[in-house]
Every structure is written in structure tokens, then in C-alpha cells.
């Protein structure tokens, strides 16, 4: 799903596990757009694609993104060290979240 303000998506991998991600333009933040989009994408992955688990990662310092995941029902699993590579080449830690069937809020 993509609009002029941002995008979200869902892909699948092995073992009925999918991954979701999102990005939102700075001027569109703070209005619940990402929470609503993530909820719809998660429902699509779990219901329409019959995935059993969805995974999501967020930069360890991106507290707003982590809150969005938690509002939708994702559970924090831990920190993945040096998991993200930024465009300038430096690596960053990320927080892993997961959502299982029946946990969507």
C-alpha cells in the first residue's frame, strides 16, 4: 500500500512467517495513519495470506515506530545487534517484534 505520504507492505518467507515494514513522511506523522495502515497490512498477512507469524523491525532509537507496533499487538522479542545499514554505511541495532495469529488489536 502506498500513498504520497508513505508506504507499508507485507511479504512472506519460509515457515508461514511474513515480514512487514512501513515508512511515513514527517509531515503526515502523529495522526494514526501508520497504526491504521499496519493494522490493515497485518490483517491481510494473517487472514488473506494465512501467515502464522509476522515480523517487524524498528531502529532501536525509533520509539514512535516501536509504539505503533505495540499498539497493533506486536510483541517485542529483543534487539538485533548491527542489523540495519543506513545509507551512509554505518550499522545500527534494531528491535525485533512479532505478531501471531489471535494477537492483532
Q: What is the mean pLDDT of the chain?
A: 86
pLDDT average, residue stretch 81-96: 93
Cell triple for residue 96? 525485533
Task: State yes or no: pLDDT of 7 exceeds 70.
Answer: no
Tell whether 94 is covered by a domain.
yes
Residue 17: which domain range?
Answer: 6-100
Rounded to 5, what percent of the chain is helix, strand, coil? Answer: 30, 40, 30
Which residue from 87, 35, 39 is spatially nearest to 66, judged by alpha carbons? 35
Could you tell me the pTM of the whole model?
0.81
pLDDT for position 12: 54
Torsion of Cα atoms, 51 then 57 then 62 then 68, to 10°: 10
State the Cα angle at 101 between 95 and 104, rounded to 5°.
65
Tell whether 1 is covered by a domain.
no
**Between 54 and 23, the higher pLDDT residue:** 54
Over residues 28-44, the pLDDT tens digits come to: 667 778 899 899 999 99
- The CATH number of whichever domain residue 27 belongs to comes to 3.40.630.30
Q: Is 78:93 a contact under the CB 8 Å cutoff? A: no
pLDDT average, residue stretch 1-16: 55
Domain total for the chain? 1
Amino acid at each position: 500500500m502506498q500513498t504520497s505520504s508513505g508506504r507499508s507492505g507485507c511479504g512472506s518467507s519460509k515457515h508461514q512467517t511474513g515480514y512487514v515494514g512501513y515508512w511515513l513522511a514527517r509531515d503526515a506523522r502523529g495522526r494514526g495513519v501508520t497504526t491504521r495502515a499496519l493494522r490493515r497490512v497485518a490483517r491481510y498477512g494473517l487472514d488473506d495470506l494465512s501467515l502464522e507469524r509476522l515480523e517487524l523491525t524498528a531502529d532501536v532509537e525509533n520509539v514512535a515506530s516501536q509504539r505503533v507496533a505495540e499498539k497493533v499487538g506486536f510483541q517485542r522479542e529483543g534487539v538485533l545487534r548491527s542489523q540495519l545499514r543506513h545509507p551512509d554505511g554505518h550499522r545500527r541495532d534494531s528491535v525485533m517484534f512479532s505478531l501471531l495469529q489471535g494477537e492483532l488489536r
